[in-house]
Each structure stands twice: as structure tokens, then as C-alpha cells.
Structure 1
Amino acid sequence: MFQIRLFHEYFKQYMKTRLAYRWDFLAQFLTNFLFQAVNLVFILVVFGHTSDLNGWNQYEVIAIYGYFLIPWSIFSAFFNLWDFNEKYIIKGELDRVLTRPVHSLLQIIMETMTPESLIGVFTGVLVMGYGIYHLDLTWTLLDFFFLVLFSIGGVLVYGGIYTILTSISLYTDSKTDIQPIIFNVSTYGRYPINIYHRFIQIALTWVLPFAFVGFYPASYLLDKQEWFWYAMATPLVGIVYLGLGVFTWNQGIKRYRGAGN
């Protein structure tokens, strides 16, 4: 398939460029690891002052956080859209992209990917495994299958939401600052949703469904059957939101007037 071959070539060129400065590349790995470790320390500090969070013990919350890191890291590696407004709208790079016979969103994903962010997958597996080990849970092959399936669904949820947010600049032709705000909201999905106010629970489920990236799938993997159907809906929610993201993007591209206007 042409798109897969093209992605492979972009990936090779990116790695050649990054490995030309090996210490910088390794430093990025270390930075990502330390950032994730700080969040884990925060959980440990919280449980240094309480025995549980609304019925969730320390190792359950650690396992949920570890699971959250897996889809989050994959999303961060391949949907690096944070500086889209600055680079592609204000500096006019989108005009260049639109002259090529490949979907514009796919090109931007390939141009901005940061594979070093995938270190978070390894970290997430370790953290989740640590939590599950202390919970004495027994996993089957089916659980590993759902781990992969849910992770893909979580990546699609994130990808869809942030594609929608990125598309806003295609309609306004100006820099927007909504992504940092939504990023702060997204961090709520790494903790048990029932520790929040009812309004926040609804928002994280039906408006900005970040609970499907972390909590709902992880709760199933922790044998919490009360959220079974929410967990099973994760891939569907991901498909719906990615579809909305691509639709919003395509409509925005039709409205885009170019950097010279």
C-alpha cells in the first residue's frame, strides 16, 4: 500500500536525522521517562496521606496510570500536532502540503511524528505490571488481546479529539490556544472517574471522552465489572471521534484560503 510505504520512508528519514545527534535523541528519551516518573511520584505522595481514593487502592490507581501511558505515548508519537498553527498556518507550510497527492492530515502526521515518545509504552507496561503484580490478578490471553484493542481505541480517541481541535485553525486562519486547556482536561482520564464530581464524569465520558483512554479500559483489565460495557465501547468511541476529526479536517481544508490571504 502506497501510504504504508510512504510512512516507512518518512520514518527512516526521521531516524537518520535524529541519530545524527545521538545524545540529543537519548536525552529526549530520558526527558520523557522522567516526566512520566514525576506523575507516578505524585500518586505515591497522595497515597502517603490516604489509604484509598473512593474505594480505589494505591496499586489499582498505579495500574490505571500505567495503562493510560500506553495509548497516550502512541498518540504523542504519531499525532504531534501541538505546533500546527505556528508552523503550518502562520508560516504557510500548509500550502506546500496541499500541492502533494497525499491526504494533508497524513502528511502532517508523518512530518511531525516523534517516535522517541514510544518509550512511554515501555514505561506504561512496567508501571501497569507493577500494579497488577501487587493486586494478584490472573491474566489470560484474552486480557492481552483487549489490552491491545483498548490501546488502539484510546489512540483513536485522542487522535480524533486533537484533530478536531487542530482543525479549528483551518476555519479561523489564526493561532488558537485551546489545545493546552484540553490537554489539562485530558489528564483527568488517568485516574478513577468516580473520584470526580458527577458533572466531570459526564464530560469525560460523553463530551471529551478521555475516560475511554485510561479509566474505563483499565477498570475492565482490573476485573471491575461495573464498567464493563464502557470498556467494550472504547474502540467504537475511538472510531467515531477519529471519523469526526477527519471530517472536520476535510471541511476545514475546503475552507482554507492560503497563507497569502
Structure 2
Amino acid sequence: MKHASIFFQYVAQYMKTRLTYRVDMVIEILSDLLFQAVNLIFILIVFGHTQLLSGWSRDEIIFIYGFFLVPFAIFGAFFNIWDFNERYIVKGEMDRILTRPIHSLFQIILERMELESLFGVFTGIGVMLYAGNQLGLSFSWYDPFLFIVLVFGGVFVYAGIFVLLASISFWSDSPTSIMPMMYNIGNYGRYPVDIYNKVIRFVLTWILPFAFVGVYPSAYFLGREDWYEYAFLTPVMGIVFFGASVVVWNIGVTKYRGAGN
């Protein structure tokens, strides 16, 4: 209850701050929508030259992209830690975080919230509904609940990977370009992994499991029965990767040397 109370207080203060500059917030939302539209246009251009992509139709790829947008939006809203090294380690703000009696990772998540990213959830659901209608998909009464479980499994997969990367900063405070590179690699999870070679497919499944953010959970709703085992493995992968990242984070905090010259 204590953490929930703090969370909602942070959200209230965040909304007050963002609504002070409403035009900036609207521009950010519109730019995000434009970025998503560009990705959709790319998919349409690809399918302007082919009917199938490794056995996947245009609407199936669009459905996968729509699903991917939902966990990605939630991740972007609450795990915006791409500049953790520079802000909290190099500039020493981690010292301030560690003086408070709340878990350090929880504090950083609250400080770095970007709730406007949650609009991507509605965009993703809209894209899925459009593609699902084109494909003539039918859903069971329990599918919305399963959808929520799979989405949060994908969120925790994404969060686990990036928290692990941020934790490296506790051992090495030198600037690194791993974060931007990993964001780019994460985009591979928007597309079916069987369009890649075996090495990339293995990496996206077991090493950097971005496939569990988009294509694998989407396979369940698309009726790809041969991929059901991967789809149902999504929440397990999320728990394992995020749990491991928190353990590494806690160890890293004990190695933090503090700011100084």
C-alpha cells in the first residue's frame, strides 16, 4: 500500500507538470503517432512487392506490429532508463536515490515516467482490431484476460533486458552506446522470427528474447498452433528476465562507489 500510494502521488505530480505545457505534450503524442505510421507504411511498401513474407500475410504482420505496440508503449511509459548511466552514475544522482527508504529501481522508474507513451496502447489495439477484422479472427471470452497476461509478459521481457543493461553502469561508469543499439535490436521483435536465419532466431528467442514481446504472443491470437508453446511461455520469460535483472541490480547497487572526483 505504501508503494502504491507513492506511485499515485508521483503520477499526480507528473500530470500537473505535463499539463502546464500542454502543447509540448500534444506534440510528443503526435510525433509518436507519426513514427508508428511510418512503420506501418514500411510494412505496406514491403507487401506492395510480395503477397507473403515467409508464409505470413500482410494483415498478419500488421496484427503482430499492433500487438508489439502495446507492451512497448507500457515499457516506454515506465522504464525510460536509457540515460541511466549519464544521469544517475556519471552525474551522481544515484547518491540522492540511495538516501531514501524506497527501493532504488522503483524510485528511478517513478522519476523517469513518460505517461504520454501510453497512447501507444490505444494505437496498438486499434491496429490489432483493424488487422483482426481483415483476417476474420474470432476471439473467446477468456482471450482479453490472456491478452493482458501476454502483454505484461512482454513488458517484463523488455524491462528485464534494459534493467540488466542499466545495471552494467554500477561496474563501469564509462559512457556506452549499448542502449541505443539494443533499442534497434528490439525492433526485430515486430516481425516473425522465421524470416531471419537460425542464429538471429535463436538470439531473439533465448538470449535477447524480443520475439516474446511481439511475434510469439501474437501467434496465439493468429491461430498459429505450432507456435502456441512459445506464446504461453511469454509470461514465464518475463518473470525470469525481470527477476534476474532485479537481482543483478541489487548486487550492482552494493558495488556503487558514489559520486566523487
TM bucket, shorter chain: over 0.9
Which residue number in structure 2 is paired with residue 81 of structure 1? 81
Task: Letter of the 2:165 partner, please give it.
Answer: L
Report how far residue 150 of structure 1 moved: 0.3
Residue deviations 1:31-72 (CA, integer Å, cap 9, x gap): 111111111110001001111101100000000000000000
Question: Which residue number corresponds to residue 256 of structure 1?
Answer: 256
Q: Does 1:167 align with 2:167?
A: yes
What is the CA deviation profile of residues 55-101 of structure 1, one whole-angstrom value per residue up to 9, with x for unaligned ones? 10000000000000000000000000011111111111110000000
Q: How does 1:31-50 map to 2 (within 5 A)?
A: 31-50=31-50
Residue 196 of structure 1: how far off its partner (Å): 0.6
Give, in angstroms, the shift of residue 175 of structure 1. 2.0
Report the TM-score when normalising by structure 2.
0.99
Q: Residue 103 of structure 1 corresponds to which residue in structure 2? A: 103
Q: Deviations over 1:95-147 (max 9, x none)?
A: 00000000000000000010000010000001111111000011112221111
Paired positions, count: 261
- 5+ unaligned residues in a row in structure 1: which ranges? none
Q: What is the CA deviation profile of residues 11-37 of structure 1, one whole-angstrom value per residue up to 9, with x for unaligned ones?
A: 110110110011011111111111111
Question: Bigger shift: 46-55 or 166-175?
Answer: 166-175
Residue identity matched to 2:100: R
Fraction of identical pairs, as percent = 55
The residue that corresponds to 2:118 in the other structure is: 118
Q: Give the Cα separation in 2 of the matches to 1:33 and 1:4.
A: 30
| Native 8 Å contact 1:97 1:107 kept in 2 | yes
Rounded to whole Å, the distance in 2 between the matches of 1:4 and 1:260 is 34
- Hey, what's the Cα distance between the residues in 1 that align with 2:74 and 2:51? 32
| Residue of structure 2 equivalent to 1:233 | 233
* Cross-structure match for 1:208: 208
What's the offset of the Cα at 1:173? 2.2
- In the other structure, the counterpart of 2:176 is 176
Cα deviation per residue 1:177-206 (whole Å; 9 max; x = unaligned)?
Answer: 111111111100110111110111100001
What is the letter of the counterpart of residue 252 of structure 2? G
**Which stretches of structure 1, 4 residues or longer, exceed 4 Å deviation after superposition?**
none
What is the alpha-carbon distance in structure 2 between the residues aligned to residue 177 and residue 12 of structure 1? 33
